Amino acid sequence: MRACAGRGTRTSSVKTLQRRASIRVSSSTHETMATLVVTDNSDQRLRSATRQALSAPWAPSSFHVNVHPRGDAYIFGRETRRITGTERLRDEVSGATFLMSPTAFFQTNVRAAEILVRLVLDAVPADVSVLDLYAGAGLFALPLAKRGQRVTAVEANRAAVEDGEASRRVSRIPPEDCRFVAKPVSTFTPAFADGLRRGRLVPAVILDPPREGCEAVVLDDVFGRIRPADAVYVSCNPETLARDLQMIVRHGYAIQSMQPVDMFPHTPHIETVVAVRRT
């Protein structure tokens, strides 16, 4: 009985140590980045398993270990250690080079991301500056800057901002053409709206919020105070998109186009690009 209990304890311990593994593959360079998420970085079995993985024929181009001891809903913890390879994975989207760190968000389906970028660029006038809210690592900001537009990209996640700035440099985009602001959108938009009273030109606006959608204060600031002639809303959640569009329309905007993009076939996950114009 003690032996059986012992085997059960070891199995449970292994499961507790490893939470998940994340693997990214570059569509342009075919590099691979693997990130092992564990609850404890000091366990000797982790070192042994890492050595075996890195000596295998299928070893990734870069390997990272992320420590996430808390039992919350987040995928990654705060501490990430590079074991081997580069700090970031390189990929190409719409003429811009992107450098992605292990824990920062980037669209998994790069081919579908190309479609998203094309739809957004088609909806944004080419002769105006752009305010990119919830910008992430600059999926829309960098291609817009490559097209010759001045972009201000606002993102609360500092890891994503660092990736965006690194991508801007490697894409050879001048910093004055694409400026990243590491700040929550809900604190940025009130100050930006106040600045318009001093004669600042109104840019086109892109909103690409998380699944929860936009905060009400952001929608009020953008469509009630900044009032761009054109705006694009990129949504990953049809329910919150419908809710937010009701508020946008009440502010005096009309929907010009709405295009869903199937990000993960055979799943309910879609992105929708909606272009609106002030009436």
d(CA 24, CA 33): 5
User: In sequence order, which ranges of 215-270 are alpha helices (DSSP H)?
Assistant: 216-220, 238-250
Residue 178 is a catalytic residue: no
CA 265 to CA 246: how far, in whole Å? Answer: 28
d(CA 58, CA 47): 18
Residue of 142, 131, 84 whose CA lies nearest to 229 = 131
DSSP 8-state code for residue 94: T
Question: Which of 4, 178, 214, 236 is the catalytic position?
Answer: 236
* Contacts of residue 61, Cβ cutoff 8 Å, sequence gap at least 6: 31, 32, 33, 85, 86, 89
Give the C-alpha distances (Å, rounded to integers) separating 167 from 1, 31, 113, 160, 164. 58, 16, 16, 10, 5
Query: Taking a C-beta distance cutoff of 8 angstroms, is the pair 253, 261 a contact?
Result: no
Torsion angles phi and psi, residue 146, rounded to 5: -65, -30
Half-sphere exposure of 134 (CA within 13 A, CB side): 20
- Rounded Cα gap, residues 167 and 89, in angstroms: 11
**Rounded Cα–Cα distance for residues 271 and 279 (Å):** 25
- The residues pairing with 25 across neighbouring beta strands, listed in sequence order, are 32
Determine phi and psi for 145, rounding to 5 degrees: -65, -40
Give the residue numbers marked as catalytic.
236
